[in-house]
Each structure stands twice: as C-alpha cells, then as structure tokens.
Amino acid sequence: MRTLKMLMSLSLAGMSVPLFAGHAEDNWPEPIKAYRTGQLLFDRLEITRTENDENLIVWDMLAWYGGDRNRIYFKSEGENRSDDGEPTELESVELLASRLIAPFWEIQGGAGTRGSVASGAERENYLVFSLFGMAPYRLEMDNSITVNEDGDIAASIEAEYDIRLSQVSYLQPRLEVEAALTDAEEYDRPSGFNNVRVGLRYRYELSREFAPYIGVYWSRALSDKAEQIRAQGGDESEIGVVVGVRMWF
C-alpha cells in the first residue's frame, strides 16, 4: 500500500503543477485551463450460461479520472455464480495511478485484491503493474503483473479487437491469458501458463454509450493447472454463451 500511496501522490502532484505561459495580470483568468475528466466504463457486464447449465453474472469494469497524462484508475473484474450459495468471486479489484508514457500506452501501478467477497481471510492482496493501452493494429490491451504478500508473481494479458461491421456494430474477438511465474499453491496457481480464454462478441450500439451484445467463449486450463483440475475430477475446458451490455458514463 505504501507504493500505491507514493504513486498516487506523485501522480496528483503531476496533475496540479501550475505553469504560466502567457502574459496576464494576477487576477486574470488563464486563457486555456488544463482539463480533467473521467469515465465509468463497463466493458463487459454480462450473463454467462455455461455448457453445464450454470448461470453467472460477470463484470469487467474500469473508472478513471484525470488529465491527458496522469490519471487514477479503479478496475474490477469478477463473477457471481447464481444458486451456488457461494459469495461473489472477485477476480480483481485494483486502484492504480497511471501515467501516459507513449502516445498509446499508459503505465499503471497500484494495489489490488482478489478472492471471495465474503471472507477477508481468503483474499489475496497484491501490488499490480500494468501496461495499458493500444498496440499497433488497434489491439486494446491490458497487461498486468501482480505480486502478492507472499511474493508470488502472476501475469495476465488481455487483448480485444473491434472489427467494424457497420458504423454502430462490431465483432469483437477477445483473448485472455493467465500465467504464474512462481508456484502459488495457496491460490491454486502452479507456475507456468494457467489459463487461456477466447471470446467473440457481436455488439450493437444503441448509442455510443450503450451497446448490448451477445457472444460465446471458450476457456481452457493449461499445463499443470489443467492436470490439477483433472485430478480433482473437473473439466479443464469450458464453453459458454454470453448476453450483456457494454456501457459507459
């Protein structure tokens, strides 16, 4: 958390440096003021039905506030499996300071937690560093490395691409890969690639801000993680359909 605080204070300092570029009496307004804004974006807010007839509510959202170069981000992903009596599962809840380091890339650092909403004891707290932005060929990416309190290192890559079918409709392939650099037995994360998830969504914008979609996904556990699941008698792969909405405010 100390790192986070430091990053945040650095970032806020960067946002509020007053500079003087013109000629003005003290009581005159600046002709052009620095501009800050924010956005609350639900990239995915969806109901998932798996091949095993399970229903899940899944979200993937972010909120940011700031200027062009320095921003604060709040990101969260998670799911709630209906009728299983289990509490909501947080895949991640993160607070990050962000700095634009290249025209299309922000470097972000902060702290996060994941695990069950119900019990703090089962949650994993971690520091996170992300490379967030748009890769050549217009791939929207969020690449993260996390380090938890035990020093376990994990990495994830998320990439999305919009194929424009019309001015308001898109086909969006999506790829998510999770890997662990160290064994984290406590959190069922053996070292190596853990999981790959591929999705395809068809999205229709009723407005730029509100776009319902339907889609499918295929998810598969990999290498040691897959063996682990097989050993427990589970399915190493899963297919499902989704109905949801992408929206922002």
Partner 1 sequence: MRTSLPQGRRQFIKSALGTASALTLAKIAPAWAYPTGRSYGDVIHADQAVDLVIRRENQTIAGLSGRPITINGSMPGPLIRLKEGQRARLNVTNGLNEDTSIHWHGIILPENMDGVPGVSFPGIKPGETFHYEYEVQQNGTYWYHSHSGLQEQLGHLGPLVIDSADGDIGADREHVIILSDWTFEDPYEVFRNLTVAEGYYNYQQRTLGDTLADIRRQGIAKTWEERAMWNRMRMSARDILDVTGSTYTYLINGRDNATNWTALYKPGEQVRLRVINGSAMSFFDFRIPGLEMTVVSADGQPVKPVTVDEFRIGVAETYDVIVTPQGNRPYTLFAESMDRSGYVRGTLATQLGQAAPVPELRPVPERGMAAMGMSHAMGDMQSSGSESSMEDHAAMSHRPGPMTSGRQRPSAPDLGIQHAPGGHGPAAAMIARNPVSRLNEPGVGLEDVGHRVLVYGDLVGAHPWPDEREPARNIELHLTGNMEKYMWSFDGEKYSEVDGPVAFRHGERLRLIMVNDTMMDHPIHLHGMWMELENGHYPRPRKHTISLKPSEVVSLQISADALGSWAFHCHLLYHMKAGMFRVVNVS
Binding site for partner 1 (CB under 8 A): 19-25, 27-35, 37-39, 68-69, 100-105, 134, 136-138, 163-168, 171, 208, 248
Tokens 């776009």 found at: 211
Toward partner 1, which CB reaches closer, 105 or 187? 105
Pick from 192, 185, 187: which is nearest to 221 by CA? 192
Q: How far is the CB of 98 from partner 1 (least distance, A)?
A: 12
Specify the residue, 105 or 193, whose C-beta has the smaller distance to partner 1. 105
Backbone angle region of 3, left / alpha / beta, with phi > 0 → left and psi within -120 to 50 → alpha: alpha
Q: Which is nearer to partner 1, 155 or 171 (CB)?
A: 171
Least spacing, CB of residue 183 vs partner 1, in Å = 38
Tally of CA atoms within 13 A in the half-sphere of 15 that contains its CB = 19
Residues 6+ apart with CB under 8 A from 12: 70
Q: How far apart are CB 145 and partner 1 at their closest, in Å?
A: 22
Q: Looking at beta carbons only, is 34 or 118 nearer to partner 1? A: 34
**β partners of residue 57:** 47, 80
Task: Give least dist CB 203 to partner 1, A.
Answer: 14
Say how far apart CA 203 and CA 218 lie, in whole Å: 18
Q: Which CB, 59 or 105, lies closer to partner 1?
A: 105
CB of 199 to partner 1, least distance (A): 18
Length reported for the chain:
249
* Least distance from partner 1 to the Cβ atom of residue 153, Å: 28
Return the number of the residue (237 or 249) whose C-beta is nearest partner 1: 249
